[in-house]
Structure 1
Amino acid sequence: MKTSESDVVISLSPSKIVKIMKDPVKSAKAVSLVYTNDRESDGITRRKRGKKYVYYYGDERIKDQVEIQRINKLAIPPAWENVWICGLQNGHLQATGIDAKKRKQYRYHPIWNALRNHTKFYRMLQFGYALPQIRLNLEKDLSLKTLEKQKVLAVVVSLMERTNIRIGNNVYEKLYGSFGLTTLKDKHVNVKGQKINFSFKGKKGIYHDIDLKNAKLAKAVQNCKDIPGKELFQYYDEDGKRHPVDSGMVNDYIKEISGDDFTAKDFRTWSGTVNALIAFKEIGEAESDTAYKSKVKEALEMVAANLGNTATVCRKYYVHPLVINLYENKSIKKYLDELDEIEIDDGKAGLTKEEAIVMKILENEKL
């Protein structure tokens, strides 16, 4: 990302971000983009000419080299069909198309991607509000009797929430032989009674050996494993045909059960932040100002062990900076003390006591 692109986003004040983040039109305008879509906006189409593509706006062929260079930089895969390309250089959505698996794909403006990355920590408050409903919907779909699509996707998301295993994708499997939940094979899991063991090579060649005890999920995973074929998570359609799940299906399902634009990554960011709060509670206050730095690193390493990341990656992407700031500024004690005051989870809010404190921090503290 160019410096100018990041500067546009970083210059936004926290109060501005909170105001615009639920409104995509205002969000785009705040960073000098135009909110566009491929249904209402006239776009550019492409046609194959030999080994190259030529581009048309309506019936008129585009010959402007600057415009052609912009389109080429989008790196739209040749396999995409029904390609729509935004006619505006500053459109928030630059291109859409249907990939080889008949899934709709998107190419966004670099500034829009930067904005989404920057606001993800602000998204956590909205995610926290949505989490109880997400969990209710998961329980409802887990109760389905047959291994239909909704049931298997609910199993995958429930496992992801409890184990922090990455969602995975076919590209990483093919290129690196690494796996995530959606690409796991039957050989990667062992079920004994209420216990599930996952053993596989994950991203960056890191081997994972993860145990989970949950009677309902253990039964569901075993049922998935019993489906013919090597893929662990498959579902049956109305005609009784089996299909493997993929990351796109999982993210679409998360959007459906949350009623918002959340993805698997939001679960990891939430988990990273909650685990950071737990880690700071466990390691306690530092004895001196100089010791705080090493204590923060220690806490982040504990979070990294849960997420399968490095401490650096966790701090940059998966732990809300507010929690770290509160610890470094010696202001976190009042929140940690509240953890001791919450005796048991009443189950009414759909959040654990640690999650409830994280929500209180997000609602009351400012970056």
Structure 2
Amino acid sequence: MTGSDPHGPGWRRVRRGRGFGYRDADGSPVGDPRAIARVKALAIPPAWTDVWICPHPRGHLQAVGTDAAGRRQYLYHPDFRAQQERAKHDHVLAVAPALPGLRRRAEEDLARRGLGPERVLGCATRLLDLGFFRIGAPGYERDNGSYGLTTLRRDQVSVRRDRIHFAYRAKSGRERDLVLTDRTTATAVRALLRRPDPGARLLAFRQGRVFADVDAARLNGYLREHSGTDLSAKDFRTWHATVLAAVGLAVSWPVAGRSPGARRRAAARVVREVADYLGDTPAVCRASYLNPRLFELYDQGVTLAPALRNLAPGDGLGLPGTGEEVERAVVELLTGKGC
């Protein structure tokens, strides 16, 4: 694998009849059939313009183009993507042991009075932990009308007793309807909904006489400070998805372990169930959030089942299925230190 620079010499895609041709950095046609086959295999969307193509088959970045919305898009080498996915899951496994301490700090901050930054950020952390939210970005709200935790509006949230109801459009236009039950968090969210401030955002803290919105940078800063790691909001979705899948695979094994076909069907069912929790498609869930090591171990008959049998009644396997004893067992399973 070699580094590739889209600002350096590369190939261009040009219209040729009803299809495309390719020219090298000197403007000469690319005629090598193997090179053309490689470029076609990239499946660069026809609507992309200003397309740059890496001339080297082992370049980490294979193509760049501008989509119909004017955004630059990138196509990476499959080996590079796999490398990045491994690094992501290794990172999540490294920061997962810090979650119990972070949760305790968030609970302490949630117990504060008023709507100072500590209580609101503690509330945001608890919501991330319970609701599998994306963090949100103003650009997605502006361009796509989609929302994440830090961009949620007050009119997309309601509270009844200890139940918090969220109804909003998430990434890719998927409508998300979510109910969380947590008394302390519901109390804080109710205060946020009733605050004397005209701002539309749900998450905002008092700063002197005004309220300031919580953005992704501030929330990630809180997570890093109080976990003592490089934890970020996106790690919550990846980690909880992996834990839920580990539990689902373990529960399925007594029946699914009888044949390869049964295992494939059970694994597909688990992925669908986790995708429902995330509000994503099964394909995105499997590719972006689930540690592939889980499925490798599953095919070998290695699951979380022994650890689950040893859990005390209070350790919890209910939704979202991420009790700390379960999480510890998943870390041990995936690092080879248990099960």
TM normalised by structure 2 equals: 0.70
The secondary structure found in structure 2 opposite 1:330 is coil
1:146 and 2:95 equivalent? no
2:222 aligned residue (224, 243, 253): 253
CA distance in 1 between partners of 2:302 and 2:250 (Å): 13
- Aligned pairs for 1:22-33 (under 5 A) are none
Query: Deviation at 1:198?
Result: 0.6
CA distance in 1 between partners of 2:116 and 2:220 (Å): 17
The secondary structure found in structure 2 opposite 1:165 is coil
Query: Deviation at 1:352?
Result: 2.7
Note if contact 2:129-2:236 (Cα within 8 Å) is conserved in structure 1: yes
Note if contact 2:136-2:151 (Cα within 8 Å) is conserved in structure 1: yes
Note if contact 1:195-1:218 (Cα within 8 Å) is conserved in structure 2: yes
Aligned to 1:271: 240
1:241 and 2:213 equivalent? no
1:305 and 2:276 equivalent? yes
The secondary structure found in structure 1 opposite 2:147 is coil
- Aligned pairs for 1:178-217 (under 5 A) are 178-217=146-185
CA distance in 2 between partners of 1:146 and 1:321 (Å): 43
The secondary structure found in structure 1 opposite 2:209 is coil
Aligned to 2:302: 331
1:315 and 2:286 equivalent? yes
Query: Deviation at 1:116?
Result: 5.6
Rate the CA distance shift 1:144–1:164 in 2: closer, same or farther, 3 A. same
Query: Deviation at 1:169?
Result: 1.0
1:155 and 2:153 equivalent? no
Note if contact 1:163-1:212 (Cα within 8 Å) is conserved in structure 2: yes
Q: Deviations over 1:207-263 (max 9, x none)?
A: 1111111111111001011122221111111x2211111111111111111111111
Query: Deviation at 1:186?
Result: 1.1
TM normalised by structure 1 equals: 0.65
Aligned to 1:68: none
1:128 aligned residue (88, 96, 99): 96
Rate the CA distance shift 1:342–1:273 in 2: closer, same or farther, 3 A. same
The secondary structure found in structure 1 opposite 2:164 is strand
CA distance in 2 between partners of 1:4 and 1:296 (Å): 35
The secondary structure found in structure 1 opposite 2:302 is coil
Query: Deviation at 1:182?
Result: 0.7
Aligned to 1:4: 2
Q: Deviations over 1:5-24 (max 9, x none)?
A: 49xxxxxxxxxxxxxxxxxx
CA distance in 2 between partners of 1:224 and 1:351 (Å): 27
Query: Deviation at 1:283?
Result: 2.9
Query: Deviation at 1:365?
Result: 6.0
CA distance in 2 between partners of 1:283 and 1:127 (Å): 28
Mean Cα displacement is larger for which, 168-177 or 314-323?
314-323
Count of residue pairs brought into register by the alignment: 255
The one-letter code matched in structure 2 to 1:359 is: V
The secondary structure found in structure 2 opposite 1:359 is helix
Q: Deviations over 1:25-70 (max 9, x none)?
A: xxxxxxxxxxxxxxxxxxxxxxxxxxxxxxxxxxxxxxxxxxxxxx
Query: Deviation at 1:341?
Result: 2.1
Aligned-residue identity in percent: 30
CA distance in 1 between partners of 2:177 and 2:261 (Å): 35
The one-letter code matched in structure 2 to 1:261 is: D
For the aligned residue pairs, the C-alpha RMSD in angstroms reads: 2.5
Query: Deviation at 1:188?
Result: 0.5
Instruction: List alignment gaps of at least 5 residues for structure 1.
Output: 7-109
Rate the CA distance shift 1:151–1:267 in 2: closer, same or farther, 3 A. same
1:221 aligned residue (186, 189, 194): 189
Rate the CA distance shift 1:197–1:281 in 2: closer, same or farther, 3 A. same
Aligned to 2:31: none
Query: Deviation at 1:317?
Result: 2.0
1:342 and 2:314 equivalent? no
Query: Deviation at 1:346?
Result: 6.4
1:170 and 2:138 equivalent? yes
Query: Deviation at 1:344?
Result: 2.6
Note if contact 1:345-1:352 (Cα within 8 Å) is conserved in structure 2: no
Note if contact 1:225-1:233 (Cα within 8 Å) is conserved in structure 2: no
The secondary structure found in structure 2 opposite 1:146 is coil
CA distance in 1 between partners of 2:315 and 2:326 (Å): 13
Rate the CA distance shift 1:136–1:326 in 2: closer, same or farther, 3 A. same
